[in-house]
A and B are shown apart, each in its own frame.
Chain A
Amino acid sequence: MRVKAKLYPKEAARLLREKPGVRDAVTGATLHFEAGRKKAYQEVDAEAWRERAKRVKDHLLTHLDQYLELAEKRLQEKGVQVHWAEDPEEAHRILREIVARRGVRRAVKAKSMLTEELGVNPLLEALGVEVYETDLGEYLIQLLGEPPSHIVGPAIHLALSDIQRLFHSRFGTPLDASPEALAAVARRVLREAFLTAELGISGANFLVAETGTLVLMENEGNIRLATSLPKVHVAFVGIEKLLPRLHDLALFLPLTARAATGQRLSTYVSLIQGPAKEGEEGPEEVHVVLVDHGRTALLHDPEAWEVLRCLRCGACLNACPVYRQTGGHPYGYVYSGPIGAVLDPGLLGLEDTHPLPYASTLCGACYEACPVKIPIPKLLLTWRRRAVEQGLAQGWERAAIQAFSKVMQSPSLYRLFSKGLRGLPLPQDWLPLLRAWTEGRGPLKPSPKPFHQLWQELKE
């Protein structure tokens, strides 16, 4: 996927100006998920669950090489073909080879953020393969030619009327068609695709190393169909998505569902144990592509690796008041919101993503929500510090901070500044800052006298 993260501040402002409906749709949906999460966390000892989940993931990540080897062995024992992809090019090569060998003309896809990362759809299209996203939300944005706006709910930025218009122009449904009628149309199209596709593509919520089990969570049943009807199933799995043991699922399945949507468990959970055996129905071939794409390097970054615990549940997006204003598009990469702000620099480098760590007020709501306790605010601070160290801060900001700290270093300069605030014209360097502030909030009105002056009167 092309990275447009550098444009974040501009794009966020533009979206607020030009598409105010997005803000309403996203705020409504995220508040709904967030309320669900809070309720679902209250039903259990969420603190203990999160701490436990964090430990399991930390153990996994600190022994990742061993678990990857184990997973590969177990998968192969089950007849799964295991591939390793260092980067999108290698992932493409693997997929291209499968498509050519099996003569694939049509593919159905389950929603997967990793395949967005790898650009699987454009590749398949270039190979002349018809691709159908089968998650309803993902299907909608595929029709619109948009990237997902949210990790879990890719189309939460759309209002019903947007979808009615889209289906009207694509399928000729009435402009006031009910959600049920729209879903029925999608169902008809997708059913046809399921039955005729030669290839099913998915991601993975988890891959259990101990047993080589691929785990997929969903609510619509589309993943089950995509991984059972076509003759070939390819799953793209980020190497950080492993879990050590099968029994870890007893914690991670209900915790992820609670964090993501406030459900106790998702409607469908598939535990895939390789291709169909003699006399069974199911795919003839199952491939697991273990994808690195920057993850190993990130794992070796002592200040930033914790982000790899992420389960992609989207809880931090739902909790984030900054994300709620714009949805995911302005962030300019697959992963948006708080997790995007700390994962994208980790995967892609700061050069191309450096405004993202500033897309937060450090309010901490994301950390409170995160099922694996990723210290997102701390990571944001780390990336900001590095941005400044690497000279990425804008000139006016650096000048303002330097002037500010110079003043604050010296009580007498500070006294002078205090007088200036109450009369004198303000120093030029501060102007852009001031203008940005006053435009939306009116002029700053200092107290008639600063406290340090009033203190003299209080002393008596």
Chain B
Amino acid sequence: MRVALFITCLADQFYAEAGVATVRLLRALGVEVDFPQEQTCCGQPAFNAGHWNEARSLALRTLGVFQEAEYVVLPSGSCASMVKNHYLELLPGNKEALELAERTYELSQFLVRVLGVSELGKGLSGKKIAYHHGCHALRELGVREEPLLLLKNSGAEVLPWEAAEECCGFGGLFSVKLPEVSLAMADRKLATLPQAEVLTSTDAGCLLHLSGRMGKQGKGMRVVPLATLLWEAYAG
């Protein structure tokens, strides 16, 4: 099986090690991994802000980049949802967009639903983890159980978190268009954060926002993308 990785711009720039972890993990599970060099951004920031012309041209070039791929896997829930759910709104009736949507998966979704893997290893034994459900992974992709299953089966303790399914306030341009509201939302999220060793999520944007806010408040916690932890689950 061959998988083309779509690392997406935010992870590429800010969580590069999550990309590395994704490659190592997929290879360890016997999957061949490609990284099409021409890839950039899925177009989500422009799309969500209403700039559909710009988003459309980025969607079209992404379609071209991944035309040949058997599967496309992203370590990002919201970018996966962009490709899976929104490309067709931008490009109604586009057959390639429809096909790409069917072949595209967020990483944990791919592991559980396509590879049928529910246990990676025991590398996270005893680790206390707080899992933030990225909204698009949760409500647009329906990825709720997969990350929890993989984390729990690797020996980690996923701590109960009252606000685990609440939006953190990132929302792409929302965080700069309405900075005060965005920060108030992050604060609410962080005020209920349990005493964990690691905070994780499928989404780089949410993590960037939450970890930045935590730092500003002088709080410290290890904040890493889910892909990084899943590789640790495997490799120990």
A residues touching B (Cβ–Cβ < 8 Å)?
A: 9, 12-13, 16-17, 23, 27, 321-322, 324-326, 357-365, 367-368, 381, 383-388, 393, 397-398, 401-402, 404-405, 407-411, 414, 418, 421, 432-433, 436-437, 439-442, 444-455, 458
Chain B residues lying within 8 Å of A433, measured Cβ to Cβ, are 176
We find that the number of chain B residues with CB closer than 8 angstroms to chain A is 67
B236 beta carbon closer than 8 Å to chain A? no
Is B167 part of the binding interface, using a Cβ–Cβ cutoff of 8 Å?
Answer: yes
B9–chain A nearest beta-carbon distance, Å: 7
Interface residues of B in 203-225 (CB under 8 A from A): 208-209, 212-213, 215-216
B173 within 8 A of A: yes
CB–CB B139/A385 < 8 A:
no
The answer to whether B35 and A321 touch across the interface, beta carbons within 8 angstroms, is no
CB interface residues, B 8-39, toward A, < 8 Å: 9, 11-20, 23-24, 35, 37-39
Q: Which of A361, A408, A440 contacts B179 (CB 8 A)?
A: A440
Q: Which residues of B contact A448 (CB under 8 A)?
A: 16
* Residues of chain A with a CB closer than 8 A to B164's CB: none
Q: Mark B24-59, 1 if CB is under 8 A from A, else 0.
A: 100000000001011111010111111110110110
Query: By the criterion CB–CB under 8 Å, are B188 and A363 in contact?
Result: no
The answer to whether A325 touches B13 (Cβ under 8 A) is no
User: Closest CB-CB distance, A365 to chain B, in whole Å?
Assistant: 7
Q: Are A16 and B169 in contact (CB under 8 A)?
A: no
B residues within 8 A CB of A404? 41, 45-46, 54
CA distance A358 to B178 in the complex (A): 9
Please give me the 7 A-B residue pairs with the lowest Cβ-Cβ distance, nearest first: A361-B171, A441-B212, A384-B50, A451-B19, A363-B167, A364-B139, A447-B16
Cβ of A47 to closest chain B Cβ, rounded Å:
13
Residue numbers of B with Cβ under 8 A of A are 7, 9, 11-20, 23-24, 35, 37-41, 43, 45-52, 54-55, 57-58, 61, 89, 135-136, 138-140, 166-167, 169-186, 188, 208-209, 212-213, 215-216
Known: A440-B183, A441-B215. A405 touches B177 (CB 8 A): no
B201 → chain A closest CB, angstroms: 13
Contact B57 A405 (CB under 8 A): yes
- What are 6 A-B contacts with C-beta separation under 8 Å? A357-B50, A361-B135, A362-B171, A404-B46, A411-B40, A421-B13
- In the complex, chain B residues whose CB is within 8 Å of the CB of A450: 12-13, 16
Q: Are A361 and B188 touching (Cβ within 8 A)?
A: no
Give Cα distance in the complex from A393 to B54, angstroms.
14
- B175 to chain A: which residues have CB within 8 Å? 436-437
Binding site secondary structure of chain A: helix
CB neighbours (8 Å) of B55 from chain A are: 405
B65: nearest chain-A partner, CB-CB: A411
Q: A362-B48, A393-B50, A414-B40 are in contact. Are A13 and B7 (CB under 8 A)?
A: no
- Please name all residues of chain B whose beta carbon is closer than 8 Å to the beta carbon of A397 when the two chains form the complex: 49, 173, 177
A365 pairs with B167, CB closer than 8 A: yes
Q: A454 with B46: in contact, given A409-B58, A440-B213 (CB under 8 Å)?
A: no
Question: B209's contact among A326, A405, A441, by CB below 8 Å, is which?
Answer: A441
Known: A408-B58, A414-B9. 19 other contacts (CB 8 A): A9-B177, A12-B178, A12-B180, A13-B178, A13-B181, A321-B188, A361-B167, A365-B135, A368-B139, A381-B47, A386-B50, A393-B50, A397-B173, A411-B39, A414-B40, A432-B176, A440-B179, A444-B212, A458-B24
Are A446 and B14 interface neighbours, CB within 8 A?
yes
* Distance to closest chain B CB from A401 (angstroms): 5
The answer to whether B209 touches A16, judged by C-beta atoms less than 8 angstroms apart, is no
Asked if residues A451 and B178 are in contact (CB atoms below 8 Å), the reply is: no
**CA of A406 to CA of B1, assembled, Å:** 34
Select which of B49, B61, B173, B181 is within 8 A of A12 by beta carbon: B181
Q: Are A363 and B135 within 8 A (Cβ)?
A: yes
Query: Please, which residues of chain A bring their CB within 8 A of the CB of B186?
Result: 440
Q: Is B15 touching A447 in the complex (CB atoms < 8 A)?
A: yes
Which one of B43, B139, B172 has the highest number of Cβ atoms from chain A below 10 Å of its Cβ?
B139
B50 contacts A440, C-beta separation under 8 Å:
no
In the complex, A247 Cα to B168 Cα: how many Å? 42
Residue in A closest to B56 when the chains form the complex, CB atoms:
A405
Complex Cα gap A455–B36 (Å): 10
Q: Are A408 and B49 in contact (CB under 8 A)?
A: no
Q: Is the CB of B50 within 8 A of A387?
A: yes
Docked pose: A442 CA to B210 CA in angstroms? 11
> Does A439 contact B40, Cβ atoms closer than 8 Å?
no
Contact assessment for A449 and B49 in the assembled complex, using a CB-CB cutoff below 8 Å: no
For B46, what are the chain A residues with a Cβ–Cβ distance below 8 Å?
A: 401, 404-405
Which residues of chain B come closer than 8 Å to A441, judged between CB atoms? 183, 208-209, 212-213, 215-216
- A421 vs B13: C-alpha distance in the bound complex, in angstroms? 8
B139 touches A367 (CB 8 A): yes
Complexed CA–CA distance, A393 and B176 (Å): 14
Q: How far is the CA of A421 from the CA of B57 in the complex (A)?
A: 24
* Least CB separation from A358: chain B residue: B177
Interface centre among A9, A321, A385, A444 (most CB of B within 10 A): A321
